[in-house]
Amino acid sequence: MRLDKFICKSTELSRTEARQAIHAGKARVNAEVITNEAAQVHENNCVTLTGQRLIPRPSRYFMMHKPAGTLCSNVDGVYPSLFRWLDLDRRDDLHIVGRLDADTTGLVLLTDDGHWSFNITRPEQQCAKVYRVGLRDPLSDQTAARFAQGLLLQGETTPTHPACVVPSGPREALLTITEGRFHQVKRMFAAVGNRVVNLHREQIGGIRLNVPSGQWRALTRTEIDGV
Ligand code: URA
């Protein structure tokens, strides 16, 4: 991780204060003064600030059940940010792994571990996301085949990865996708002439949502390692 981030994760300093300390020559990595805030340091390097050894706080990982009418953003906008429901210290250190639209409900993952979230969201990882989709019209017979083949969405040049859709009610389906394109689920159903009327994310990789709306909990070690 970057030296400035390492210092923030080990002290109460803000990013700006950490950078000022680095530029002032107060930080050493393995006894060498480092004045570049972007220098990469490993968790087990010996990093000191004005002679004090720094030990980073462990990374944090949470699931939250996002209510409708909330924003996946650190700040309020047209709707309140879902961070309002997260009564935790240093919640601004956290970021959201795979945003949902304001009207979408369900599973949101939050962490301060950039490597972990990068691994979940990078397309090559093919991490499965499961959505329960309420539809205007019943699922047509062709939809499963079209989704399995991959669809060209409006304005895009590469087709979607193969996706699996199964009916779960007269106007409801369970959809599994392995990408996270902009408004992907709504655009996929629009591409086959249907319309999403409500959308709920149930699962990301091996992590299943199991807290009530507006609630959150820390992830278990098994969930963190198995995603
Ligand atoms: N796809 C969408 O269209 N919206 C979401 O919120 C998530 C996936």
The ranges of the chain annotated as CATH 3.10.290.10 are 3-53
4, 89, 101, 141: which one is catalytic?
101
| pLDDT tens per residue, range 34-83 | 999 999 999 889 999 999 999 999 999 999 999 999 999 988 889 999 99
CA 42 to chain centre: 23
User: For position 102, what pLDDT does the model report?
Assistant: 97
CA 195 to ligand 1 center in whole angstroms: 12
The DSSP annotation for 130-175 comes to EEEEEESSPPPTTHHHHHHH----TT-SSPPPP-EEEEEETTEEEE
Asked if the model's pLDDT at residue 215 lies above 90, the reply is yes
DSSP state at residue 177: E
Give CA separation, 145 vs 76, 150, 201, in Å.
40, 9, 22
The ranges of the chain annotated as CATH 3.30.2350.10 are 61-218
The answer to whether the Cα torsion of 179, 183, 189, 191 is positive or negative is negative
219 lines ligand 1 (CB under 6 A): no
User: For position 38, what pLDDT does the model report?
Assistant: 97
Class of residue 83 by CB neighbours under 10 A (exposed 0-12, middle 13-18, buried 19+) = buried
User: For position 54, what pLDDT does the model report?
Assistant: 97
Percent of all residues in the chain with a pLDDT value above 90, rounded to a whole number = 90
**Residue 101 designated active-site:** yes
Which residue's CA is the nearest one to ligand 1's atom 2? 183
What CATH number is given for 3-53 in this structure?
3.10.290.10
Q: What is the largest CA-CA distance in the chain?
A: 68
| pLDDT tens per residue, range 105-124 | 999 999 999 999 999 999 89
Counting from 1 in the atom list of ligand 1, the atom nearest the Cα of 201 is 7
Counting from 1 in the atom list of ligand 1, the atom nearest the Cα of 104 is 6
The answer to whether the Cα torsion of 213, 217, 222, 225 is positive or negative is positive
Domain 61-218 has CATH 3.40.50.150: no
Whole-number average pLDDT of the chain: 95
User: For position 50, what pLDDT does the model report?
Assistant: 97
Q: How many other CB atoms are there within 10 angstroms of residue 188's CB atom?
A: 23
Asked if the model's pLDDT at residue 227 lies above 90, the reply is no
